Structure 1
Amino acid sequence: MVIRCGRRDTMPMIVAPPMATRAAAADPSVTPLQPIVPLLRDSSLTEIMVNGPDAVYVERDGKVLLTDRQFDDENHLLGAISALVATTGRRIDFSEPVLEARLPDGSRLTVVLPPVAVDGPMLTIRKFAASPYGIDDLIRFGSLSLEAAAFLRASVLARANLLISGGSSSGKTTLLNALATCIPEDERIVTIEEAAELRLPQGHVCRLECIQAGEKTMTLRQLVRHAVRMRPDRLIVGEVRGGEALDMLQAMNTGHDGAMSTIHANSPRDALSRMETLVLMAGLDLPVRAIRQQLRGALNLLVHVGRLADGRRKVLSIAELTGFDDQTIALQELFVSEATGGAVPGRTRLTPTGIRPQLMDKIYQRGIEVPELSRLFPKNSAAIADSGRRPTTAAQTDGGFPTRDRRQN
């Protein structure tokens, strides 16, 4: 696609190639979607935002651009929305003006209709990469440093409980998916999401999604409760934003280690405060001290991500929960994003703070080798000896079964 100035002076415009437009028009089955077919096929776009018949925006490389795509009128736009919703097995209903669904290719669809949408029907499509990114991809993109990536990978293998925080469209789900790919192949993974977005390469994955069953919708909280009874080795909640936070914490505190989730927050400390609020939304009158003790016992690491001014998404901080003192959860930052000071302004790099993570002892106790961190965080032989636990290995019997249950380590 060629970028040129659009009708609005403040925004650039994306112009679709004529060949793509003719190909879309030649297929009667996509006639209602004709204006946005080239955008749906463009793998470089991460978001398609239709604010009205003549206001179609996209996001590319973190920047929002106005396109030259237009619908004839609101009826044409409604026809396109109906066509998209129909692919999910549902239909638009003005009595329920807000609809969220997952398209067949995994994209997330959000539709808002009048009267909630004051200026007419709107739709937003969050697109995802054809092949999910892994840890090595994030290193290549500059989202993670080599040392931070090695530490996070080792933490996942050591079955640490992680919470990823960040603002909207900051890369939380992308990082969650990348970290989940580090889970060993022989573990049973259960994922719970409002709209299934995670795509894991492991073979033993059970995906749960909040969908409407008749007149009733299964909530995240109900699915978390069911997931705990499915014998998961790993529990992954796409995002906590309600009372399910309490159920997830209880699962983490009752032997379901190695769990991961995301939360909307502006900083690691804000993420803990928001978790407290979400737990209270469960409807139980729990004292704040008890909630904070649950948080301290459940979580090991907080990973904060953000989107920079130039649109790049990066990990900004990795912090460890280290204790509970005077009703306050103690946090220590292990990696922080710092300006590189190079020729390109705004460049940052995730660098270690020099504080040795408490989690490193658990990593070494389990026999996990981390060459990238051996100089930065050398083995603490005294702590390993005092633990009274032998390093675990991936040894298996001749029949291919583990010689012992890893959860007993």
Structure 2
Amino acid sequence: MKFMRNRIISNTIWLLSERIISIAGLFLVTSAVAKYIGPANFGKVNTAILYFSVLQAFVFWGSDTIGVKLISKFPMNGVNFLRSFALFKVISFFLTSVLVILYFYFEYDRLTFIFSLAVGISTFFVIIDYFNTFNEATLRSHINVIANVIGLSISFGIRYLIVEMKLSPEYLSIPIVAQGLIPFVIRFCVFKKNNKSHSFFYKPKFKLIKYGISSGFGLVISTVSVMVYLNVGRVLLSKFDSMFALGIYSVAIALGTSWSFVNSAIIASLTPMLYGSKKETSYEIASFLSMILILVGGSYFILFLVLGRYVITHLYGEVYSQVYSISLILIPVTILSSLGVVAARYIISQGGYKFEAKKSLITAIFTIFISWLLIMKYGIYGAAWGALLCEMLSLTVINYFYNKAEIFKIHLNIFNIPKNITVLKSALKTQSLK
């Protein structure tokens, strides 16, 4: 079909197909696991994932964003950068992960420690998997999707067997590792097959590593700060409330963000064009993207409002009943977060690395303070309302200080539908495959 030959549309559809399978796993398998091991143990799994997510963001040092931008303009330089910077990521990961593992060993129980080891191993394969970034930048997301779907399917299958056979929760460490290992192996094999000129034993270019460290400094501050203010609620809940509360909140986050795969697919498909366009075009693409994300998020909110309570009761059980009301707060949080991603990528496309770093750091500090106050007073609901307040602040007030309120102008232009439709047609025409 001519429609499917368009690179943006086909890339988006591939990304959507992966997330649909992931969502199916969330409802059919993850819900069964959460129900089987209970909120407290489910909270332990998510604690390990949380800490290594922040670590992963730090170790990447913004290299994925830099890689996509470089490949969009200078393909060979971009690939060489990703391969060279892998050395920096590996060294950084080992130095920091040891500290995290020791922290879990001394501060948490045996089960949480085992989960932390499994998540650490899985994260390592994500860290060295620069093939994922390469495929995203070159609009070959079908490779990522196939690899991820196989990894997810095997991981979900193992999880299901553990629940059905009523095995010890410790065995959940096996699918956690598999979910990172399997996609990496598949992407590596495909990359080597399609790029035979690239030697396996690549000598890193320290000039490119130095470039990545200097260029990514602002990005890593921004990314880690974002990770902090997105997850500070979970950290504070585990410390000042209970693992039970964290388990409830983690399920609410999963359901409140489950629809965002649509937004992620659309953003990922248009980001290379955003980076490669002139300022005027980038401005219009950002407005168009924001409009689409609001429409998608609003539709999911209405759907969850009607069906959410039924889904939670039948899949998770009455013990997770609080998830419904918390999710209704977190869905708008996800909408704002997606709009924030668009704003951030627009700012980066204009070279605003320092602004992003400062903005994210300020937001993170504000979030820690506000979330602590609200969680101490309102518990789980305080965590949700804190996240909403901070996402709103990050998207609007702070962003509007960038370059004479450019983000504010983008937001004003969101519902200029005729103009946005023109942008869409132009984008599709530009990226059409012959």
Q: Same fold (TM over 0.5)?
A: no
Which has the larger helix fraction?
A: 2
TM-score (norm 1): 0.24
Between the two structures, name the one with larger relative contact order (CA 8 Å, sep ≥ 6): 2
**Structure with the larger strand share:** 1
